[in-house]
Structure 1
Amino acid sequence: MTHEYQKLQEKIKQVRQRFRWIVLARGLVFSLTGSLVIVAVAILLVDHWNYSNRAISLVRVFSVLFILGIFAWFLARPLLRKVMGVQIARYIEEHHPALQDRLVSAIELGEKEAPHSPSNPILPLLIHDAIKHSSHIRAKTLFNPREPYLSGAVAFGLILFFILLQILGPEFFQYATLKLYANWLVPRPEPLYHLDVAPGNTQVRKGSDQLISARLMGFDSHEVNLLSRYEGSNTWEKTRMESQKGSNSFGFLFLDINEKVHYYVQAGNVKSPEFTLSVTDLAQVEKIDLTYNFPRYTGLPPKREEDSGEISALKGSRVDLEAFTNVDVTTARILLEDGTSIPMERIAEKKLRGQIEVKKDSSYKIELTDLSKSSSIGSHEYPITALEDQPPLVTLLKPGRDKKATKLEEVLTEVKADDDFGINSLELYFTVNGSKENVVNLFQQKTGETPKSISGTHTFFLEEYNLEPGDFVTYFARASDALNTTTSDIYFLEVRPFGKEYSQAQFAGGAGGAGDVSSVLSARQKEILAATWRLVRDKKSFAPKEYRDNLKLVTTSQQKLQQQTKTLSDRIQRRALATRDKEFQKLSENLIKAVEAMTPAQQWLSQDKPRDAVSPEQTALQHLMRAEAYFKEIQVAFGNSSGGQSNSLGAEELEGLFELELDKLKNQYETLQQRNSMQAGDEIDEATRKLKELARRQQQLNERNRQMPMSRFASGSSSGGSDQQSLQAEAEKLARQLERLSRETQSEDLLKASQRLKQAAQEMRNHSSNSSGKDSQNRGLQALSRLNDAQQLLDRHQKNGLSDDLRRMQADAEQLARQQEKIQSGLEELARNSSGNGANASTPASSGDQAERDFNKKRQIFQDKTQLKKGLDAMEQGLFASARRAGSQQRATSQKLQSAGNAMHDNRIQEKVDQGGQMIARGLLDSARQREYNIRGMLEDLKQKIASAEKSLDSSESGTAEEKLSKALSQTGDLIGNLESLNRRLQQFYGNKKGSQSEQQATEKGSSDVANLQPNGKEGHNGKSANIHSIRELSRSARRTAGPIPGKWKKFQWKGPGSLFSRCRDKFQLQFFRYGG
């Protein structure tokens, strides 16, 4: 090869290189364009198929193959194609025709010439000529000079466009690119389209419901399915989930889950992971044992109650709780009503211990944390009742009332104090004529156990105090326990003249009837003093308004009495009565001094200082009593004179003055004894308890008296007298309390119970008097009969109140059921509107109106649900409260009410009402309808339970056998009284007929004339026959209704009610025939 030929080849090579660059740029542009199109199509395909693994695999393979094919076709194939020199030369000559095939001929001949063959002489000339004519040709002029740059720019733009799509493009573009082509190079990206499933893996309580919700993340689907498989099944069940309006969420409610459930959610090609609902028995308290540790001052040993929960203990007590759980727990705590948390100690497997200090009324429940760290309330809410340490009960047994005595008498006083835990001290306080207060220590506890009951005596030797008629001694008792002090009422010992003066006044011609009226002033002053004393003593127990009203009443009374006393004194002065006699003068002086003493008393009362008013009130009382003593002396003196009728004007004026105001102020101080420490219901419960205790003690006393030998009665032994007097005082106090409650509650039963208690107290008073043994026993039976009557009346009052509560709760349950029915109807209408929205939404206006109606309907449903929940809360509280009130009186009813309340608590009706509202808000209308149906069923069950409780109460209206027997015994007591009264009248009649004095007077109410009791008298025979007939009928009734004797009566060894009535009948017949029947 010559040098010129090589030069020609170099020009061809330059053109060839230039051509390859252009082919490379052009092929790259086409390849990149095609690749981008393929990638975009691949991304759209996998996005359409929701990035399922199968779709991703297929699209990845085919897209890569297509991209490689495009690069092979548009880039590799043109570059690998061989371009001959002749083709390049011909391409050059096409652009430069002036060469006239010189270049093609030279290249063609030069390529054909063999390396070692003889050279063609023409070839060098031809080459030289081709070079000469092509020397001015440049390679870059043969092509478009901008084409390589344009192709490069297009290629660069395509690459930049792809990068920008990855960075700034749709989220799914980058996700799909990485998922298709770089899934193994970068960390696995979070799925772009996935299902957010709640609650996922969780534990649920056996028998409970669980809502599964699925939220579509990044995509939409018209159908979402839940696939579930129970532990005991191998088949996956497919269920369509409900769409929630206004959100991209779906829901499904598992009902009554009793075994493990595996489930997952699928929407189109997107499937969630598989989850598990594990069914476990949530930690629950199965049993609670209580150990009461009472305050040290009570001296009570610890008390244990097993399988309980309700705490009722004295304030300051510490109660140890031992809770037994169904499963083992890690931690537990006691939650009090005020939010206080008390940790519990795990002392053994499934056994916990904690302690509660009883400070106030509250409630508690136990929160348990199981081994999975799940916390839940594991018990019912139990009440805590904090009992107050009751103050001591102090009673003045003897004399037990105001007493009049001569200045030489010895007056025995006996004080008794009772306390629930122990008496620390017992003292007697007294003053003589309002002077310095004296204290007699009757008992002082020093060491050892404090007695729960103590009594002491003190004798007033009146001769030692140099008293005169009109003087007085005031005394009261005070008892203390560890925390409280109780003061008794104040009593008076009045010094009276000797009996001769009274007899003279009584039979004097001009003093008739004035003696009773003469003591009105001192009696009223005594009442004012006693009322002031109660104001001082009971100030803390009064409500502020009640205290002010009572203080105002006492102040006004003192002021009026002062005016009346001054009026009487002025009249004596105006009529110059004081100048007639020395006694009139002393009478007037004492009245004036009484008025003067009432002035500071009235001032202290006006200044709200009743304690300071006591002393001047006592001084006023002293002068009034002395004035009355002088008045009685005047009566005696003028009674002995011949002109007694004309000279007794002063006494008559006093009598007229006293009678003028006596009726107005007769009962004005009764309100001072009212107490406001408890509500009426609690007070009635407490009164019932006290009444039962009184009846029990009276029954024991009767039994002891029955077994006592007759010689004890004949010898005048009074070993049981003090016990009977104590019962009498307590019965009288309880009667006053019931009388006050009857006024406050307008209850006829309470009023009758109060009257029965007063009758019982009277029988007790007669029982403790000096009477024959048989009469004493019968009085005790009659007292017990009255106590039983009062107890039956209280029980009836409580039963009526409970019956009213049950009727009200039954009506409330009906109202709740109707309200739930209204909610269900609204939900059904809402569901129908929802299903018809697509067909009815022909215009935007109609669609908007329907949406507004649906919104209003939902709002109404939510309001109804709020009211329903409030009603359910009140119903649950009312059930437990009524169950506690029913208590032991109506145990079956109480248990049924407690069961109804526990069912509400266990079924969590209020919580399900809230869940139903949440489902409606989410648009889960089908699940909400199922939930509301379940709530309706629970409400119907609640109605049945309340009806069952009411039925159990109605069935007890006729009374148990024990109640019937008690009623029969009460009637028997009345008949015994009638028999004894008739017996006494018969004895009196025939005793008088024989010329002897009767042993006692017939005193029973409604007794007929003695002549009617003659054996041959018609009325006498009829009366006896009627009594015998009544006994026979009552005996038959008792045999029919009483049935077997209850266990607690068996210790008295009764053979049956018939034997008692038979003895009564035989006793009457014996008396009848003895006296001539």
Structure 2
Amino acid sequence: MNHVYRNLEENLTAGLRAWRRSRLQRGVSIALLGLFGLAALALLTRPVFNAVPVLWWILAIIGLAAWATLVLQYLILPLRRQPTLAQIARYLEERNPILEDRLATAVELGAHTVPARENPLWPRLVQEAADEAARLHVPEQLQIRFAQWWRLLAVAATTLAVLLLFRAADLYQGYFANYFESNAQAPQAVEALQVKPGNARVPRGETVEVIAESPHLEASEATLYLEQGPQSWLPYAMSSTTQLGKFTHQLFDVLDTLRYYVRVSDEISPIFTIIAVEAPEIKTLRLTYIYPQEIGRPPLTEENGGDVYAPNGTEIQIEAISTQPLAKAEWRLHAADFREMDLRNDTLAVASFTVTKDGHYVLRFTNNDGMTNKPVEYFIHVMPDEPPQITITRPGRDLRPTMLEEVPVEVRVREDYGLKQLTLIYSHNNQPAVRQDLLGQAARTQRPSGTSSEYIAGTLLYLEDLGARPGDFISYYFEAHDAKQQATSDLFFFEIRPFEEEFYRALSQGGGGGMPSAGLSISQKEIITATWKLEQRRATTSEQELARGSSALAETQASLQESISRMAENARMRGQFTGESGEGSMVTYLEKAAEAMQRAVPLLQEKKLAEALAPEREAYHFLLQADAELRRREIMQGSGSGSSFTQLQSREELAQLFKEELDKIQSKYETLQNRQQQENASSLNEAQQKVRELAQRQERLVDLNRQLSRENALPQERKRQIERLRREQEQINRDLQNLNRQMRQMSNASASGEQAGQELRENLEKAAEDLQRSLDNLRRDNPSTAAADGNRAAERLRRLQDQLQRQQSGSLRDEMKQLREDFQQLAEQQGDLRTALEQQGEQIAPEQRQSFQEQQRALQEQSEQALQNLQRLQESAADKSEKPAVARDLRNLTNDLAQRRIPERMEQAAQALAQNEVQRALAEQHEARQALLRAEKALQQSLSQLSSNPDEQLDLALQEAQRVRRELERGLAQSRENNAQAGGSPLGQGRASQQNQNTPSQQAGQPGDNSNSPEQLRPEDMNWWNQQLWSGARQLENVGQFMRNDSALADDYARLMQNYRGVLRSFQGGNPQRLSEIERTLIDPLRRFEAELAARLATLQLRERLLTIRDERVPPQYRKMVEEYFERLAKSKQPATNNP
């Protein structure tokens, strides 16, 4: 029965909690409402505070006392009450007489000792009390009246209080601070007009507030008079304040000495003088970096820098030279207090600190007049010491040279602070590795950003001196050490081939099917590479991953050993059966390879990776010798003309045997390789999405920065917005750094694409540098400059996204198409920049000239990237033997652009702008643009050669038509916009400059005046439209070659070109057409032509998919019958073809 009583107690306890909760909600509601009432009372009685402060304080005390009484009565006292369960039971019986004292009796007896419960009526009494209590719903019985409404009111009041606290805290804090600040002292009757600051000395450029207090409280206006010349005073109305008789006025940017006086009613103050004094400024700031001893980098001195970029533990020595003699120099590190700097003389102050974390430092100077400069804040960035980044530039892949070749190897290493060691490590067959130091002969260059160095080193491997023979192999890789870390490149192989291989292979093309000899060794080479990589990553790999990788390698090696042993046994038996010579040597090689693999398996299982490499390499060597023997036999037998039927049959059976075994081996590796490719594609796709997201977030942040720089917000609101933008920028920076680390890990895990991965990382780091500069400018309260840096970072992220897309697609045609668009955009941007510069004339403001230089250098970086992409595209096309003409054209284009020196010309244009040589800059820009247009045209021709399929040709034609149509639509929209604006420039500033040279003047009422005909084409635009139409005609002429196989499309194309040429003739005749006529005769037909091309392309693609759904071969039993049928058909037509 105890459980029945416990249920009764829990029911009553729940009612007690409901009682306390309802009273708490009511008390909170009343307390918050009372607090809101006090705030409203303070706002309403502010005039009373200004007029009669004593009365205000009396009202405030009464209000506070009333609020405290409410809180005490409805919140504190009810919660202090602790009713017992017996009292709760009595209260319930008073409200419910039906209980008849049973509930209270059960509770009181239950509270007694155990003997009191031995009454035989006790169980029945408790059961009845529990049933009645359950029926009564005790929590609802004990709640106060209107409990639900009090609950809603408490939630609403609490929500409102939280919103006011977090969303408008600054506003109310400032308001109430001003409430008491403006009235901190009761208005005292002044005897005469008082003016502050009176005579004063202020820093030059400072804003001075003039305050006037008059004894006449009824005065409603005051006037400030500033001296403008001898006996000339200019009046300014002063602003009234909440205090009667008090007025203010602000003098902005005081640069010279000012004399002023104030007049209030009939009172005139004396004439005061404000003297603008130069505050000390930092003339030269010199930073000396003393790097930690383990880095080993010599000290570095920077002039006129300020911001610190250094690794952890670097000592920074600050030397600041002031423009004036100093009385005191102070500095502050992070959030600490200001402390004095060491004054070496009257203008030189020094200090030092050690870099331990990101932060900032501030310099503050005070001269002998007591003037203090505006403290300058510089930022401290702890740069991580990244491991060296190795890129093998030559050859960067596996090769098959002859034994007399001299193979060049070249490496490029990027390091933050300096290399300690750069070593080439190569090994011949299974011999001990040879280490060759390359650091002494490496060429070191400093990157433009100044944050890292590049080392380029190379050497020649003389294979004859190494004793290489056909069937041997040489493996090589590079190691780079900095002060703390080590980096290793990928492992590559040279397989030595005989001289006569290509010659005999050409002679033996008709000798029968070739054997799959290359597959014998490639699988073992993959095992060696995987074992070596796992050993290199042992220090950074968990024990579980190491065990899983070793187990997978052991299983793969055992499987390959079993296949090689089976192949050797079958080859031995077949050699004994056929009696062929040379069979024994190949079997011996296979057996030795299998024996070496067998020794490697237990070492892999025991995770002894370094020890396992020796038998693995030994097996690889024997497999290469078996491959060489197999090639030799194939060539010799293929070149012989007297091979017997038995020998031919033996060769075919042996080839079939090897093929079956190799198919089993390769199926395992293909599965593994497909899985790895899928993982790499997934990683690239994820990285591309992250880059797209970062670019979108950065573009949004740039827009917010520009909007903030244009707005005139209040200081507090501006500070709050800048802080929010700074936090968002910091989050973007962190996400970009995380992405950079992921990309580095992904490139380290991949055996291919090292150069592309290096370029991706470099672009990421450049974007990170731009983002960091944007963040620094935000911290300096400079959103306009932050927007410029952030915009550059967003453009880099967009280019990085395009680069990831190109790497993910891997298609030569797609890469060429993207590269052509890059050159087209570069040409357009260079042309726009040149036109804008031409409009400015010879006299250019320094700020505008600096902007032109930055734009030109940005184009230079993009052109360098485009040329690198062209070089990579040319190498990729050279590897694809099916398009030799395209590879030749790309090689010629690469050589031609190298001679035209596009980046150098852009650099010279920027230098000419720096020297204010506008004409030389215009000439260099013209040459660069012509070279870019030439590259675009050449890529278009190569792209047409790649478009061999009908759907590819139609796709290319559609893109060309779309490009022409978009250019015309852009010009049409610009012309209409210019016509809508009175005095607007034709087609932008750049085009306006060009037209102004051709048309010297335009008077109102001439055809250029568009006030009466908004659709009339302006004469100023005629030259631009002529150039654009001729350019579009040349582009559309290239489309015609793709229309030859389709008569319907050819007719549509002919009508389109007829309309186009008609418009061209009207422009040449000087007949300016209406804009609506241009749209009707040019743009609308182009749209219809695009729609027809798109529909035809969709039809071809659908047909191709339908044709490739099923591919059924002719059954073997009917194949011979079909072949005989076509042979007879061909013989029957032969006489007809011979007759004339």
Q: TM > 0.5 between the two? A: no
Sort the TM-score into its range (normalised by shorter chain): 0.3 to 0.5
TM-score norm. by structure 1 comes to 0.40
TM-score norm. by structure 2 comes to 0.38
